[in-house]
């Protein structure tokens, strides 16, 4: 990930203003430690802090078209850039950067080119011919982006709050899948997939189609000119990412440069579930495995840095971000600059524990839609900022646009969790990769019981955070919480503790409004209680409230770590056109 900062129409083209923009841009240097650049055109400034992944030698930013009339600063990776270059035969490219296509696409197609980009991105484009500008963010919000407005009429854009919160009268998160045009002066959504309407799809489940779509999503993310690896917790999602990556790495440019043996990384407390499972998967796949240990005190000591970088006071996000933040520093110290991760699967396939209680396929599907739409406030924010804090880029194939379209077009009846039919959470994903002839993973890993990320790194992690918060937040403070924090009032001492730290770094009202509402679990809590009122008795944000449901579902259908159910007779085992399918057993 890179860091971008733009100040547009600030009515001040002085040297002092340029110095101030440079100062603010340096707050984002952790996102891009490799190079920095600043372009000024009158009272418009485009600054960039670069993390060089593709074309590190010549891809410095800002980027330009042929005559330098169109200027762009980009945080992102455009996976189909070579195809897009071929579609622009009359354009001359100054660099080999994947992001260089943006200026030329705008020159050719105007504002309507954004949907042509396959990748993750946040960018600001300045057209100096009429002093207009365009701002856009990727479909799901994998890259972070904020927009603010100054009293002088200026518009500010930055990858993180810290780049603009001191200068803007009001600021907020730039919505995913949207673009802002100065010509219209308003936001509009450019990303309009079929699933966005939440109309229930009816496409039959074909395991081979789903498998191929995900393999394609992983393979395209092997585009890199620098050392990389995979984050491996030993759970289903990260293990599938690692398995596919290890299969296809040998034939890539990256393998020729850095070797065909994949590096994998895991973090946890001593003896944690993730460390054990990840080691087993790494041994099975033959990766060069790196295991990082931390203590509860290490994590507690990092909390203030985590909140400063992640820019949230959401409890679950902070809990999960801290181990990832610590691991990212270790990974970067090894010279690795990019990792592939497994975020997004639970939202797409209904993998969270409360989905066990979904009353019907319609509710199940609509909840997955809502979860995907909120990812930029939670898991995407964590994955992007916890890694970017150390100049590391995270790529997330489950959130590939084409893969989401395939996965979200499947009749949600197939995603429903049905213990009586031996169908556990994310069953259709597990089944798609259950190949007897060429196994992707050992059977018990493919069907491993889900751990919440915060618990997977070690069961004492959450308890240690709660105990630490108890020492710093007393009962009297909690009695006055609604007066001190009237918006999103913290309801636990842990939440109060995080909120105090956040407000110290980001005291503005706009900052506190940028964090999603409720006691950090508003969306899933409301849905879980609606589906089963009994869950309201114990709604810890970690998901432990549902652990009884989760365990009982597995205890009935697991024998010695292996699922023993038979194939459901109605499951198609063809590729959708009548040819034999793979042998898939669950």
Q: What is the pLDDT along the chain (586 residues), one digit of tens a residue?
A: 799 999 999 989 899 999 999 999 999 999 999 999 999 999 999 999 999 888 888 778 899 999 999 999 999 999 999 999 999 988 888 888 899 999 999 999 999 999 999 999 999 999 999 999 999 999 999 999 999 999 999 999 999 999 999 999 999 999 999 999 999 999 999 999 999 999 999 999 999 999 999 999 999 999 998 999 999 999 999 999 999 999 998 777 777 777 778 999 999 999 998 999 999 999 999 999 999 999 999 999 999 999 999 999 999 999 999 999 999 999 999 999 999 999 999 999 999 989 999 999 999 999 999 999 999 999 999 999 999 999 999 999 999 999 999 999 999 999 999 988 889 999 999 999 999 999 999 998 998 866 655 567 878 999 999 999 999 999 999 999 999 999 999 999 999 999 999 999 999 999 999 999 754 444 566 787 789 887 766 656 655 555 555 454 444 434 333 433 332 333 333 333 332 233 232 2
Are 385 and 311 within 8 A, CB to CB?
A: yes
Write down the mean pLDDT value for the chain: 89
What stretches of 452-521 show up as alpha helix (H) in DSSP?
Answer: 453-456, 460-472, 475-479, 481-484, 493-505, 509-513
Rounded distance between C-alpha atoms, residue 46 and residue 22, angstroms:
10
Please report where in the chains the tokens 């950090």 appear, as a residue.
520
Domains of the chain plus CATH, in order, are 3-192 (3.60.20.10), 202-295+303-352+364-458+543-563 (3.40.50.620)
Pairing of strands 146-149, 155-158: antiparallel
Rounded distance between C-alpha atoms, residue 410 and residue 428, angstroms:
10
Residues of each annotated binding site for L-glutamine: 98
Structure tokens at 329: 């520093």
- For the sheet containing 63-64, what is the strand order? 63-64, 70-78, 119-127, 132-137, 178-181, 186-189
Residues of each annotated binding site: 98, 231, 267, 341-342
Provide CB contacts within 8 A for 472, sequence distance 6+: 493, 497
pLDDT score of 188: 96
pLDDT score of 259: 76
What DSSP designation does 334 have?
A: T
Residues of each annotated binding site for ATP: 231, 267, 341-342
CA dist 133 → 9, 103, 114 (Å): 10, 12, 14
Strand partners, 40: 45
Are 517 and 488 within 8 A, CB to CB?
A: yes
3-state secondary structure 94-105: CCCCHHHHHHHH
pLDDT score of 553: 43
User: Catalytic residues, which ones?
Assistant: 2
């Amino acid at each position: 990930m890179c860091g971008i900062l733009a100040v547009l129409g600030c009515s001040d083209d002085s040297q002092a203003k340029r110095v101030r923009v440079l100062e603010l841009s340096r707050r984002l240097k952790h996102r891009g430690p490799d190079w920095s650049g600043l372009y000024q055109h009158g009272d418009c400034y485009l600054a960039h802090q670069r993390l060089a992944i593709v074309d590190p030698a010549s891809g410095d930013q800002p980027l330009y078209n042929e005559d330098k009339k169109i200027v762009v600063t980009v945080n992102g990776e455009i996976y189909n850039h070579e195809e897009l270059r071929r579609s622009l035969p009359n354009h001359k490219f100054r660099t080999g950067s994947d992001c260089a296509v943006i200026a030329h696409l705008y020159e050719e197609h105007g504002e309507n080119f954004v949907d042509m980009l396959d990748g993750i991105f946040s960018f600001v484009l300045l057209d100096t011919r009429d002093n207009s500008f365009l701002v856009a963010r990727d479909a799901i919000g994998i890259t972070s982006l904020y927009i603010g407005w100054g009293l002088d009429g200026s518009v500010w854009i930055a990858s993180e709050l810290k780049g603009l919160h001191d200068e803007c009268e009001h600021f907020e998160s730039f919505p995913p899948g949207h673009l802002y045009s100065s010509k219209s002066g308003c936001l509009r959504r450019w990303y309009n997939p079929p699933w966005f309407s939440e109309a229930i799809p009816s496409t039959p489940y074909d395991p081979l189609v789903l498998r191929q779509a995900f393999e394609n999503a992983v393979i395209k993310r092997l585009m890199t000119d620098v050392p990389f690896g995979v984050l491996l917790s030993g759970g289903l999602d990260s293990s599938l990412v690692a398995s596919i990556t290890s299969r296809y790495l040998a034939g890539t440019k990256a393998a020729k440069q850095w070797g065909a043996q994949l590096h994998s990384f895991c973090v946890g407390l001593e003896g944690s579930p993730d460390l054990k499972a990840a080691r087993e998967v790494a041994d099975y796949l033959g990766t060069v495995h790196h295991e990082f240990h931390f203590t509860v005190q290490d994590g507690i000591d990092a909390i203030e840095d985590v909140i400063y970088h992640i820019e949230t006071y959401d409890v679950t996000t902070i809990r999960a971000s801290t181990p990832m933040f610590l691991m990212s520093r270790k990974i970067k110290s090894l010279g690795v600059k990019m990792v592939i991760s497994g975020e997004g699967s639970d939202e797409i396939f209904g993998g969270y524990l409360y989905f066990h209680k979904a009353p019907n396929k319609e509710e199940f599907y609509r909840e997955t839609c809502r979860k995907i739409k909120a990812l930029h406030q939670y898991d995407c924010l964590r994955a992007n900022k916890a890694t970017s804090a150390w100049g590391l880029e995270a790529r997330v194939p489950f959130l590939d646009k084409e893969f989401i379209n395939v996965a979200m077009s499947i009749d949600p009846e197939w995603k429903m969790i049905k213990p009586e039919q031996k169908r556990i959470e994310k069953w259709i994903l597990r089944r798609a990769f259950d190949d007897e002839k060429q196994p992707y993973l050992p059977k018990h890993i493919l069907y491993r019981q889900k751990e919440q990320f915060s618990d997977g790194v070690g069961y004492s992690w959450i308890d240690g955070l709660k105990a630490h918060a108890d020492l710093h937040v007393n009962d009297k403070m909690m009695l006055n919480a609604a007066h001190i924090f009237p918006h999103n009032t913290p309801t636990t001492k842990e939440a109060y503790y995080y909120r105090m730290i956040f407000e110290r770094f980001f005291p503005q009202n706009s900052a506190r409004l940028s964090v999603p509402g409720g006691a950090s679990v508003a969306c899933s809590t409301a849905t879980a209680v609606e589906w089963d009122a009994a869950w309201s008795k114990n709604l810890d944000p970690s998901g432990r409230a549902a652990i009884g449901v989760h365990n009982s579902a597995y205890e009935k259908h697991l024998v010695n770590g292996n699922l023993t159910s038979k194939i459901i007779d109605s499951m198609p085992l063809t590729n959708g056109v009548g040819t034999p399918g793979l042998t898939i057993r669950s």
